Amino acid sequence: MGCTMKSPHSIFKDTQELLDSIKKADAKTREIHGRMVTLERAIFLSWWCDRGSCSFCYMSTQRDRIRDKARARRRRSSILAEAELLRRIGWRAAFVSGGYGAYSLEEIRDITEQIGEIMGAPTWLNVGVLSKEELSSFSGIAEGVVASVETLRDDLREKICPGKPIEPMREMLTNARDLGLKTGITVILGLGEGPEDLSRLIDFVEDYRLDKVTVYSLNPHESTPFSDSAPPSSLYQAGVIAALRLRFPELKIVAGTWIDQLPNIGIALLAGANGITKYPLYKMFGNRYGKKVEDEILYAGREIVGTFTDRARLNNGDRFPGPWGAEVEAALKRYIRRIES
Ligand code: SF4
């Protein structure tokens, strides 16, 4: 498959090999996928998660503070307004995401369908482990399903995500593929794994013939054991992405960094990312942060799908139709005011 590396992590042993791999990955990305870069945002359904035990996760810090999980759910109108806003500015919904146990399956299906209608294409799901029967009910509604594996080091997983064993995720990915759904995973770099663990990721992508991998760099949240951890280096994230690109030329790779790691974007794109994600839209749109993202894309020689700066597009839509119309319009106004303030 075009990979000439001895072992995946040899990419980190020699800077010339790293540079050479990024160069090849850039060429391969342009050849297979072209120049376009998507801006993606996960649409969160709630701030509640029944598991609440992943030590890096913001939701784990909220679990004891939330008395009534029903009140941690977002209003339907807010969710739909966010989808409409993404459509207007040309972003993709990375996936529909919510903590475990906050919604019934029927509600998730209904919301996913509505988001797909707004965005003009079915979106992905990242709502925990679903059985084969549950997955089948999303046929035609979801494009694919994502398993948030976070790390593939078993010792780390047991410590960091004790409530989220990997076996059910493996089963879900197999079932999803059997049902004709696309499959993906999210991983977070910086949880304690290192270059020597890269082969686990490569093997996992191979074993499950994944269509998409989202490679986040750790965003150290306050009140978590990672609050004072340094996010991983830009070149580590880029090396992981380049190794994936060279081994899996067709794979969709999305790179996620936080607002304080924006310079990572350019090198992640050169290494083969198709899209970028994880940015606080409302804090960054139309200001110097959004401009910085666009410049990173520009200087990587790539072209942006949509915009991170064009405020005129925020209002570029017809009145929202249907029974949710008035509420969605009100939520849209609130979001646009927040961006413009
Ligand atoms: S299962 Fe997901 S949402 Fe819940 S605590 Fe873990 S990472 Fe956070």
Predicted TM-score of the model (pTM): 0.95
| Residue 53 Cα: closest atom of ligand 1 | 5
Ligand 1 centre to CA of 47 (Å) is: 10
Of the candidates 37, 38, 36, 40, the residue with the CA atom closest to the CA atom of residue 277: 40
pLDDT in tens, 281-298: 999 999 999 999 999 999
Q: Whose CA is nearest to atom 2 of ligand 1?
A: 99
What tokens appear for 316 in the block?
A: 């570029």
Residue among 55, 161, 187 whose CB has most ligand 1 atoms within 8 A, to mutate: 161
Q: Whose CA is nearest to atom 5 of ligand 1?
A: 52
pLDDT in tens, 205-223: 999 999 999 999 999 998 8
Ligand 1 centre to CA of 306 (Å) is: 30
Q: Whose CA is nearest to atom 1 of ligand 1?
A: 51
Helix (H, G, I), strand (E, B), or coil: what is residue 97?
strand
Band (pLDDT 50/70/90 cuts) for residue 52 is low
Once rounded to an integer, what is the mean pLDDT over residues 171-190? 98
Residue whose entry in the numeric block shows the structure tokens 């198709």: 274
Q: State the Cα–Cα distance between residues 103 and 130, nearest whole angstrom.
A: 13
* Domain 8-310+322-340, CATH among 3.40.50.300, 3.20.20.70, 3.10.20.30, 3.40.309.10: 3.20.20.70
Query: Residue-wise over 221-252: b if at least 16 C-beta within 10 A, else e?
Result: beebebeebebbebbbbbbbbbbbbbbbbebb
Ligand 1: residues within 6 Å at CB?
49, 51-54, 57, 59-60, 99-100, 148, 164
Mean pLDDT of the chain: 93
Q: Is 10 exposed, middle or buried (0-12, 13-18, 19+ CB in 10 A)?
A: middle
Q: State the Cα–Cα distance between residues 268 and 216, nearest whole angstrom.
A: 11
pLDDT in tens, 230-271: 999 999 999 999 999 999 999 999 999 999 999 999 999 999
Q: Name the residue ranges covered by the structural domains of the chain.
A: 8-310+322-340
Helix (H, G, I), strand (E, B), or coil: what is residue 212?
strand
